[in-house]
Chains A and B, each alone.
Chain A
Amino acid sequence: MSSCDVNFEEKRLAALYEYDILDTPPEESFDRITRLVRMTMGTPIAVVSLVDRDRQFFKSRQGTETIETARDISFCTHTIQKHEPLVVLNALEDPRFRDSPLVTCENGVRLYVGVPLRTPTGFNIGSLCAIDTKPGTVSPDQLDVMQDLARLVVDELELRKLASIDSLTGAMTGRSFKLEANKELGIARRRRLNFGCIMFDLDHFKSINDTHGHGAGDLVLRTVAAICAAELREADIFGRVGGEEFALVLPGTSMSETLDVAERLRAKFAAAPVVYALAEINVTASFGATVFWEMDADFEVTLKRADGALYEAKTSGRNRVVSADPSFAQHAILAVA
């Protein structure tokens, strides 16, 4: 790859990351489009693929359980090189793909139709794909529908970027949260103020989804978010930064106060089981807490420190608060005891 290509790829990735959509759960707005792809193309598989640095992530998938694959074996990495659709009628006859594990495996890809997802700024961040395990044909009218649907996928992505609030939980989206937190960091630095930062992650959330269904998982997320909204002050910033991962910024808050807030939330979650379809679901979360340090270059550094403490909370038994500041470690342990 030339330095010009590398530069373009970095800009393309930046355009993708702006949507803050990688590793987020499936959403109906995208699933509706892939279902329509499957119907109009007559293929068993349809996906919205987002091409990351080393992988493709399927934001929406019909007819396959695969969530991501390595980028170097993917068809979509070829699709995003051009502005026109990539149509492969029989991958076994195409030298670019016939040796790919996606083709040579059992029920491998034969027919592939991929339309680039082109942002308004001109970057192909992924593709909308129709896939069959049998060779096939594609009419120009079908291809037109695919191109129209690819534009609608980008509409959804753009709208998502526009909306700063996660519609399920009412928390800020990860992107908006980080923007707001960085503003807060600027204020704290100028005025030499404290601010606390907490990250928490729901314990065993996957097993809640697996055992009780996604409806239960959604209710748990909404319940936890409602508890946070009730506990926090107006000035506090609350965001959903991952599927079941949330973060808080508490302006003007010391380390000790930040740990108190984390512990209060931990206790409230644990004391409020969620009832779904007559089942009582116990909800706990693991917390990492820190404060802004003057040496923090930006909010990412502060958040990463909170994430490190969260990781420690997870690995040391879950349902606990861990401080990223060693001098407050004892406080955190006492809070859990």
Chain B
Amino acid sequence: MQLEPEKSGDGTLSVVKSRLDSGEGGDVAQGSLKRHYENLEKLAGSLRKLGMDEREVDENLMHVFKEYERELTNYINRI
């Protein structure tokens, strides 16, 4: 799986990436997580262009990822 190396300050993206690297949940969960990682990465870039600093970008990514992660964990725990 080829993913961009993490940028400094990308705390949330590194959390997502570590879950990807763990390979948990099988192909279906990994496919979903990879798509989500890519979409979060795009969002990070767009928020930076909007003038947010790294801390704000990371807070907003975590804001979005937190619930997704909860649902994903529920799914993984049940397969």
Interface residues of A (CB under 8 A from B): 27-29, 32-33, 35-36, 40, 141-142, 144-145, 147-149, 151-152, 155-156, 158-160, 162-165, 167
B2 CB, nearest partner CB in chain A, Å = 20
| Contact partner, A159, options B47, B49, B60, B68, Cβ 8 Å | B68
Instruction: Given A162-B28, A162-B32, decide whether A152 and B43 contact each other with a Cβ distance below 8 A.
Output: yes
Task: Give Cα A155 to B50, complex, Å.
Answer: 23
Q: Evaluate contact between B71 and A29: CB separation under 8 angstroms.
A: yes
Which residue of A32, A155, A156 has the most chain B CB atoms within 10 A of its CB atom? A155
Question: Do B78 and A164 touch (CB < 8 A)?
Answer: yes
Given contacts A159-B75, A163-B75, contact A40 B70 (CB under 8 A): no
Chain B interface helix/strand/loop/mixed: helix
A145 near B47 with CB under 8 A, answer yes
Q: Which residue of A lies closest to B32 (CB)?
A: A159
Residue of A nearest to B48 (CB): A141
Proximity bits, B48-79, A CB within 8 Å = 1, else 0: 01100000000010011011101110110010
Residues of B within 8 A of A (CB): 28-29, 32, 35-36, 39-40, 42-43, 46-47, 49-50, 60, 63-64, 66-68, 70-72, 74-75, 78
A-B contact pairs, 5 of them (CB 8 A): A29-B71, A151-B42, A156-B68, A159-B68, A162-B75
Main secondary structure of the interface of A (DSSP, over half): helix
Is the pair A151, B39 in contact by a Cβ cutoff of 8 Å? yes
| Known contacts A142-B50, A155-B39, A156-B68: A165-B32 contact under CB 8 Å | no
Tally of A-B Cβ pairs under 8 angstroms: 74
Question: In the complex, A152→B38 CA distance in Å?
Answer: 10
- How far is the CB of A125 from the nearest CB of chain B, in Å? 17
CA distance A276 to B78 in the complex (A): 29
- Given contacts A144-B46, A144-B49, whether A152 and B75 have CB atoms under 8 Å apart is no
- Is B67 a contact of A29 with CB atoms below 8 Å? yes
Chain B residues, CB < 8 A from A148 = 39, 42-43, 46
With A29-B71, A36-B60, A165-B74: A152-B36 Cβ-Cβ less than 8 Å: yes
Q: Complex Cα distance A162/B72, Å?
A: 9
Contacts of B50 in A (CB 8 A): 40, 141-142, 145
Q: Distance in Å from the Cβ of A38 to the closest Cβ of chain B?
A: 12
- Compute how far the CA of A152 lies from the CA of B32 in the bound complex, rounded to whole angstroms: 11
**A141 near B46: Cβ-Cβ < 8 Å:** yes
Inside 8 A of B36's CB, which chain A residues have their CB?
A: 152, 155, 159
A128 CA to B63 CA, complexed, in Å: 18
In the assembled complex, the Cα of A163 lies from the Cα of B72 at a distance in Å of 8
Roughly how many angstroms separate A148 CA and B52 CA in the complex, as a whole number? 15
Tell me how far the C-beta of B60 lies from the nearest C-beta in chain A, rounded to whole angstroms.
6
* Docked CA distance A40–B70 (Å): 24
Cα separation A36 to B46 with both chains bound (whole Å): 13
B78 in contact with A152 (CB, 8 Å): no
